[in-house]
Amino acid sequence: MLAYQGNAGRWFDPLRQMRLMQHDMNRLMDSLRVPALPEFPLMNIWTGPDGAVITAEIPGVSPDDLEITVHQNTVALRGQRMAEPVGEGDILHRRERVAGAFARSLVLPFRVDGDKAAATFRNGLLRLDVPRPDADRPRKITVSRS
């Protein structure tokens, strides 16, 4: 421990003082930091032998404002969520919901059959069913006895 007795007869630890200053600076920096926003929309993806299912939470977005494209093993989702209008003379105190254009691209571990892909939208939840092409589906091979 590096400490010494000062002129007033009190013990002084310069390393303790440095730790206290660092603690205060960390608290200050944490208070200035803007919290990171999660990617929008939030998605779940699961795969099986026949393809993949992708769900996305997109509240406040009309299905007409969505664009979904499939190319090889990539599924892209684009859209726009409009901000709620604030009335004239009203004061906005907080806006946490993200508004504006969004885009997400997902790379799947296999090619998908875009011609057979289907999308449904209900209660703010988008569901994409993207099947594998028949040629890419796993096949069981029977072993014959020789």
Q: How many CB atoms lie within 10 A of CB 99?
A: 13
| pLDDT at residue 37, rounded to an integer | 60
The per-residue pLDDT for range 20-32, each reduced to its tens digit, is 999 999 888 877 7
Rounded to an integer, what distance in angstroms lies between the CA atom of residue 132 and that of residue 75?
13
Can you tell me the mean pLDDT for 56-76?
93
Q: Do residues 54 and 43 make contact, with C-beta atoms less than 8 angstroms apart?
A: yes
| pLDDT at residue 8, rounded to an integer | 66
Can you tell me the mean pLDDT for 81-103?
85
| pLDDT at residue 22, rounded to an integer | 92
Q: Do residues 106 and 85 make contact, with C-beta atoms less than 8 angstroms apart?
A: no
Rounded to an integer, what distance in angstroms lies between the CA atom of residue 46 and that of residue 68?
18
Can you tell me the mean pLDDT for 61-86?
91
Question: Which candidate, 68, 86, 89, places its Cα nearest to that of 78?
Answer: 68
What backbone torsions phi and psi does residue 111 show, to the nearest 5 degrees?
-70, 155
Q: How many CB atoms lie within 10 A of CB 54?
A: 22
Q: How many CB atoms lie within 10 A of CB 83?
A: 12
The pLDDT-based confidence of 2 (bands split at 50, 70, 90) is low
The pLDDT-based confidence of 104 (bands split at 50, 70, 90) is very high
Rounded to an integer, what distance in angstroms lies between the CA atom of residue 108 and that of residue 39?
18
**What is the pTM (predicted TM-score) of this model?**
0.65
Hey, what amino acid is at 35?
A: P
pLDDT at 3 over 70: no
